[in-house]
């Protein structure tokens, strides 16, 4: 079965870029609209018309540039800010002196804020501080004197742009942290899936070789001893820490990237499967299966994982109670979930035995049963009373979990 890599790209900045593109268009239209209502009061209206023609073409032509951080290069930001500053400095030459001194709007008006915001989104608060400072200087030069309204507008743009730049930096760091957490979770689930597969096959074979070798004796005993050593080493490896996680991409232009390995079900049925058909092979002289009369439909992967958990519970019965031990399987089809109960007539599990087994690297219950149900979005509850047997209740939702691990295998477990 071919493995494929699923790439998830996250970017909290993309909505900001889309909003900025809309802002630039609207403020460009606002500046031109204001000029058309007051053009008769301009000293040199032809100069303003020429500037607005450049502003109109530039704003529309550069929309792809402000659609994302990748296109918003340093050269573009410098040219964009230059157009804004040029419009501010041209205002005293195009507009009437009285309106300039009365605090009238500059030629680019509030379009200038879009240039500063582009600096903030692209480079954070430091870039925003640089751009807003240049705009502040241009406004002071245009007015010729630090009037109260000019200083107020300068401080407002300066504080707002720096604040937005800082928020973008915080959001970018949070995005990378979330991406690392998701990748660690994906690596953990993949390791648990591999651990289940190893436990369900290799460890069981090694344990059987060790037992049979001790019974046969001779060279087989030595082979059994070596198999036992390998079993211990492999259990230690399986129950160890997390596998190393690759670094998450910190490319601010495209957002953080999370890569998760998936194994597609190439041979899986396209529709739901009947859980009863997967549990039927477990029924026999020593195992009684009680099931509904109607089909119990489940997603193929969920049904196989649930059946594998049932198989792991039955293997526990054979291993720890005996080959001739009796067991009962009860299947309940509820509206939102499927409940499968496995019960035996053994001596029960001593208190603390499961934790002790997990510490020894025997992760049958932890991985082959509880791990499978957790990946399905369900639960596995183990109830045991000394002298009265053990009951394992498996609850799996009918709706597949979005975080369900894609690895599958029929399982065996040990306590």
**With helix as H, strand as E and coil as C, how does 33-83 read?**
HHHHHHHHHCCCHHHHHHHHHHHHHHHHHCCCHHHCCCCCCHHHHHHHHHH
For CA atoms 33, 35, 41, 45, the dihedral sign is: negative
Q: Which of 260-269, 318-327, 336-345 is least confident?
A: 260-269
> Given a cut of 70, is residue 407 above it in pLDDT?
no
Query: What is the rounded average pLDDT of the residues 391-412?
Result: 62
> What is the pLDDT at residue 89?
92
> Given a cut of 70, is residue 359 above it in pLDDT?
no
> What is the pLDDT at residue 253?
42
Q: Which of 53-57, 290-294, 315-319, 340-344 is least confident?
A: 315-319
Element spanning 302, H or E: helix 300-320
> Given a cut of 50, is residue 3 above it in pLDDT?
no
**315 contacts 410 by C-beta, under 8 angstroms:** no
**300 contacts 293 by C-beta, under 8 angstroms:** no
Three-state SS for 193?
helix
> What is the pLDDT at residue 149?
64
- Of the pLDDT bands very low, low, confident and very high (cuts 50, 70, 90), residue 80 is very high
> Given a cut of 60, is residue 238 above it in pLDDT?
no
Query: What is the rounded average pLDDT of the residues 157-180?
Result: 81
Element spanning 231, H or E: helix 219-238
- Of the pLDDT bands very low, low, confident and very high (cuts 50, 70, 90), residue 224 is confident
> What is the pLDDT at residue 27?
93
Arithmetic mean of pLDDT over the chain: 77
Query: What is the rounded average pLDDT of the residues 216-244?
Result: 66
Query: What is the rounded average pLDDT of the residues 127-153?
Result: 81
Say which residue, 106 or 104, is predicted with more confidence. 106
* Number of Cα atoms under 13 Å in the Cβ half of residue 307: 24
Query: Which residues, 6+ apart, have CB-to-CB distance to 364 below 8 Å?
Result: 199, 312, 315, 316, 357, 411, 412, 413, 414, 415
- Of the pLDDT bands very low, low, confident and very high (cuts 50, 70, 90), residue 234 is low
> What is the pLDDT at residue 195?
64
CB atoms within 10 A of CB 366: 21
**CA–CA distance, 282 with 314 (Å, rounded to integer):** 8
Query: What is the rounded average pLDDT of the residues 119-147?
Result: 86
Say which residue, 174 or 37, is predicted with more confidence. 37
pLDDT tens figures, 266-322: 445 567 889 999 998 888 888 899 999 889 999 888 888 888 888 888 887 887 787
Query: What is the rounded average pLDDT of the residues 8-15?
Result: 65
Tokens 């900001």 found at? 16
**CA–CA distance, 351 with 382 (Å, rounded to integer):** 12
> What is the pLDDT at residue 198?
63
> What is the pLDDT at residue 239?
56
pLDDT tens figures, 372-396: 888 888 988 888 877 778 888 999 9
Query: What is the rounded average pLDDT of the residues 3-11?
Result: 51
**CA–CA distance, 197 with 364 (Å, rounded to integer):** 11
pLDDT tens figures, 171-205: 778 877 877 777 777 777 766 666 666 655 666 67
Say which residue, 118 or 99, is predicted with more confidence. 118
Query: 206: exposed, middle or buried (C-beta count within 10 Å: 0-12, 13-18, 19+)?
Result: buried
For CA atoms 314, 320, 326, 328, the dihedral sign is: negative
Q: What is the pTM of this model?
A: 0.50
**367 contacts 190 by C-beta, under 8 angstroms:** no
Tokens 């390998």 found at? 230
> What is the pLDDT at residue 81?
94
Q: Which of 157-161, 278-282, 349-353 is least confident?
A: 349-353
């Amino acid at each position: 079965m071919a493995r494929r890599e699923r790439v998830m790209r996250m970017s909290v900045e993309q909505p900001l870029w889309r909003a900025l593109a809309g802002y630039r268009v609207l403020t460009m239209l606002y500046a031109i609209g204001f000029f058309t209502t007051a053009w008769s009061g301009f000293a040199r209206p032809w100069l303003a018309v020429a500037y607005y023609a450049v502003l109109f073409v530039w704003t529309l032509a550069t929309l792809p540039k402000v659609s994302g951080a990748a296109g918003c290069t340093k050269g573009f930001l410098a040219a964009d800010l230059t157009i804004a500053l040029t419009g501010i400095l041209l205002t005293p030459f195009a507009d009437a002196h009285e309106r300039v001194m009365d605090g009238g709007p500059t030629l680019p008006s509030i379009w200038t804020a879009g240039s500063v915001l582009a600096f903030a989104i692209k480079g954070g608060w430091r870039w925003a501080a640089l751009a807003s400072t240049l705009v502040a200087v241009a406004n002071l030069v245009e007015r010729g004197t630090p009037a109260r309204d000019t200083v107020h507008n300068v401080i407002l743009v300066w504080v707002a742009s720096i604040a937005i730049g800082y928020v973008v930096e915080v959001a970018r760091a949070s995005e990378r942290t979330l991406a690392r957490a998701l990748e660690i979770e994906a690596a953990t689930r993949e390791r648990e899936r591999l651990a289940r597969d190893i436990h369900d096959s290799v460890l069981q074979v090694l344990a059987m070789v060790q037992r049979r070798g001790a019974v046969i004796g001779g060279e087989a005993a030595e082979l059994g001893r070596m198999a036992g050593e390998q079993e211990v080493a492999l259990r230690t490896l399986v129950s160890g820490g997390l596998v190393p996680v690759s670094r998450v991409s910190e490319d601010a232009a495209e957002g953080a990237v999370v890569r998760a390995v998936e194994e597609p079900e190439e041979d899986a049925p396209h529709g739901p499967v009947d859980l009863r058909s997967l549990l039927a092979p477990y029924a026999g002289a020593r195992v009684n299966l009680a099931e509904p009369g109607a089909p119990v439909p489940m997603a193929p992967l969920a049904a196989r994982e649930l059946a594998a958990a049932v198989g792991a519970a039955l293997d526990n019965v054979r291993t720890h109670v005996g080959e001739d031990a009796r067991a009962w399987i009860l299947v309940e089809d509820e509206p939102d979930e499927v409940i499968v109960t496995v019960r035996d007539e053994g001596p029960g599990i001593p208190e603390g035995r499961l934790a002790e087994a997990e510490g020894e690297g025997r992760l049958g219950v932890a991985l082959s049963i509880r791990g499978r149900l957790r990946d399905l979005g369900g639960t596995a509850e183990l109830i045991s009373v000394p002298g009265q047997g053990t009951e394992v209740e498996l609850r799996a939702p009918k709706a597949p979990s979005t975080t369900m691990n894609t690895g599958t295998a029929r399982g065996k477990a040990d306590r």
